Amino acid sequence: MPATRREFLRTSALASTLLLVPKFLHALDRGPGLSNATSARRLIVVQLGGGNDGLNTVIPYKNDLYYRARPTLGIKEAEGILALEKDLGLHPALKGLKGLYDQGQLAVLNSVGYPNPDRSHFRSMDIWQSGSSAEQVISTGWLGRYLDADGSGCPHPYHALEVDDTLSLALKGALRKGLAVKNPAKFHQISQNHLLAQVSKETTPAHHDQVDYLYQTLAETASSADYLYEKSKIYRSTGAYPNTEFGRNLKTTAELINSGVEARVYYLALAGFDTHVRQQEQQQRLLADLGEGLAALADDLQRNNQWANTLVLVFSEFGRRVAQNASRGTDHGTANNVFLLGGALQRKGVLNEAPDLANLDQGDLRHQIDFRSIYAAILRDWLDADDTAILGPGFERMKLFS
């Protein structure tokens, strides 16, 4: 393959070389966007990568079985557990989430998982991102299929944004995909840089369809880059976000929302939760980043009248084993807790019973809630989408919004 064509394919795959698109394709740039963008409901997904230890996040601090399984790793009430209800409390580092709980802006779901759980990070994350069963392999994401849906009103890539350098499976549909943008200004600069002049329509007829498709993809991405760059100039946050990558990504998210970007979905990740060794220090640092960051986001959006139409979903691909290991950590487990946050939650607090530590499955928690029942409720009752068409039949929607 000639060097110029190889370079074109490499860069276009990153959707980052988009100048000199033929003028006829600028008709693709931007059609009608979402109506009332600032008031439309939006979803922010926060993925805790690595398998967060749910039992030390939402702690059953009045259950002796918890301390028997974790004689040194178990967190004691005197260490500052933040009491909730149902004999549960948040990790002491989650003061930001406790503040939202006290304001009625946090819902906790315990023992969320799926049948026949997989302990592979990659496979279990694929299951959560695609909305598949453990026996299925699906090449599209649950939010990507939402973008594909006729009624989503999301024809442009910027309607679903991942604040990162790469796009996750969750935002990839068969017809439409979201856009990975970590920094709108840098993304715009890259998009204006160099390459399409190297690509000619004077290719063999067999390649015309491929080049047409690439030109269209590049045109859509170039238009999105322009749009996001111009919008991102409108609002600069002064919120007290953590000085971490996750904190900066949350700040970018708030700035885009408060600038009026027409996205319905935002996707962020906080990695590092694979705590096989020395869990206490690592999890405390990460949970502080999570709690402080989400509290700052909520405050930022609330001050700009955007919190009531925002829902935040926080999940991890699996939990950890109930018993601690010999390395002051925990190994891969199964069911886990899920958080929902927002300014207009109709159901709040701890929504189901604590994990049953007396009824384990070979040392692991049994799931009470299938995660796809949560997805179904979000799709139907929050995003006004056809959950059955997107997820398939068989998942009873949880009553989260009534």
- If one compares 361 and 213, the residue with the highest pLDDT of the two is 361
The CA distance from 388 to 132, in Å, is: 13
* Residues facing residue 113 across a β-bridge: 370
The CA distance from 150 to 96, in Å, is: 38
50 to 47, 65, 245, 324, 381: CA distances (angstroms): 9, 25, 17, 17, 29
State the pLDDT confidence band at 401, using cuts at 50, 70 and 90.
Answer: confident
- pLDDT (average), residues 281-300: 98
Locate the DSSP E strands across 7-132: 42-49, 58-59, 82-83, 89-90, 106-113
With respect to residue 28, please indicate whether it lies within any of the assigned structural domains.
Answer: no
Whether the pLDDT of residue 22 is over 60: the answer is no
The CA distance from 56 to 322, in Å, is: 10
State the pLDDT confidence band at 192, using cuts at 50, 70 and 90.
Answer: confident
Whether the pLDDT of residue 23 is over 80: the answer is no
DSSP class per residue in 220-247: HHHHHHHHHHHHHTS--------SSHHH
DSSP class per residue in 332-350: B-S-EEEEEEETT-SS-EE
With respect to residue 1, please indicate whether it lies within any of the assigned structural domains.
Answer: no
* Residues facing residue 162 across a β-bridge: 180, 267
With respect to residue 197, please indicate whether it lies within any of the assigned structural domains.
Answer: no
With respect to residue 332, please indicate whether it lies within any of the assigned structural domains.
Answer: yes
The count of structural domains within the chain is 1
Question: The whole model's pTM is what?
Answer: 0.89
- pLDDT (average), residues 282-301: 98
* Residues 307-355: tens digit of each pLDDT: 999 999 999 999 999 999 999 999 999 999 999 999 999 999 999 999 9
Picking from 370, 310, 377, 380, the residue whose alpha carbon sits closest to that of residue 345 is 310
With respect to residue 26, please indicate whether it lies within any of the assigned structural domains.
Answer: no
What is the domain-level CATH number for residue 150? 3.40.720
pLDDT score of 220? 80
Tell whether the torsion through CA atoms of 221, 225, 228 and 230 is positive or negative: negative
The CA distance from 58 to 88, in Å, is: 6
The CA distance from 323 to 283, in Å, is: 16
With respect to residue 349, please indicate whether it lies within any of the assigned structural domains.
Answer: yes
User: How would you class 97 by CB atoms within 10 Å of its CB: exposed for 0-12, middle for 13-18, buried for 19 or more?
Assistant: buried
| Interhelix angle 208-232/3-13, nearest 10 degrees | 50
Rounded to the nearest integer, the mean pLDDT of the chain is 88
For residue 37, the 8-state DSSP code is T
Residue whose structure tokens are 């979905």: 265
- pLDDT (average), residues 66-92: 98
With respect to residue 384, please indicate whether it lies within any of the assigned structural domains.
Answer: yes
Residue 331 lies in domain:
44-182+238-391
Q: Is residue 298 classed as helix, strand or coil in its secondary structure?
A: helix
Please answer whether residues 219 and 27 qualify as being in contact, where contact means their C-beta atoms are separated by less than 8 angstroms: no
With respect to residue 34, please indicate whether it lies within any of the assigned structural domains.
Answer: no
pLDDT score of 199? 46
